[in-house]
A = this chain, B = another copy of it.
Amino acid sequence: MHVPHATTRDADLAPVVRRMEALGPLTSDLKRRLIEFGPRSERVTPGAVLYYEREPQMRPRFILTGWAARQRILADGRRQIFSLLLPGDGVGVSLRPGAAAETTVVALTPMVVMDAGVLPGQGAQDACFDYGDAMQTAARLDESRLLDQILRLGRQTAYERTAHLILEVHERLDFIGRAQAGQFEWPISQDTLADILGLSAVHTNRTLQRLRQERLVALRAGRIQILDMARLSAIAEYRPAGSATADPYPCRR
């Protein structure tokens, strides 16, 4: 499941560093960790669990490659995905360490993740280090996306919801330089997409067909292309997380 010591080629630090530096100044502590741990990445296969909910110890990691999902499953099997975790995102990286995970994190695709936290000989508590303003901003974006998810599920139609999610993923991938002219990787099955959007798989399929038919997106071979950004944004009533900038009021401690 976890294969240690992926090749250095896999350990592409670009998304993490790029994302973090764009979000705000990094502390030297985090920089040091990135350099020190960057090469020590591990592979994770699809379906593997990175964290179980209620598991107290959270080894902080960063995603170098691949997608994951935070989810919970009801007794009768209904699954809800709370949010997607994309390259450059932290997993189990909390400003409130020791927070029981609350959610299970599952790999949706093959991944390469970087262990960013516990130096040899350190305990769980020590995983709490100062991440700097970049991490503050990242946490804020996280919460903002949870709010978007609530709005989608509570008050948007399947059509609007799907458009909205596509735009969110585009914005996030574009931010780390992984989208070109509205085109980007889209490695998730319609089954998984349904569990994000709170829909059935069948209806998800039909909704995607409608988006294609109306020439809003093109979708094939694990990639998606946004064909009409303006119209898509209008349908979804999408507001970019413009707050993706550095913290205007950094917290002095």
Q: Which residues of A contact B (CB under 8 A)?
A: 56, 72, 74-75, 78-80, 82, 95-100, 102-103, 124-125, 128, 130, 136, 139-140, 143-144, 146-147, 149-151, 153-156, 197-198, 237, 243, 247-253
Contact = CB atoms under 8 A, between A and B. Distances in A.
13 contacts: A72-B147, A74-B155, A80-B155, A98-B248, A102-B243, A103-B147, A125-B252, A149-B150, A153-B198, A154-B197, A154-B198, A155-B198, A253-B253
Total identical chains: 2
Query: Does more than half of chain A's interface fall in helix, strand or loop, or is it mixed?
Result: loop
A148 to B, nearest CB: 9
Nearest to A73: B155
Contacts of A251: 95-98, 128
A137 B124 CA distance: 18
Contacts of A143: 102, 143, 146
Nearest to A196: B154
Contact of A150 (B56, B146, B155): B146
Given A96-B136, A102-B144, 17 more contacts: A56-B248, A74-B155, A74-B237, A82-B150, A96-B140, A98-B251, A99-B243, A103-B147, A124-B249, A125-B250, A128-B249, A128-B251, A128-B252, A130-B253, A146-B146, A146-B150, A150-B150
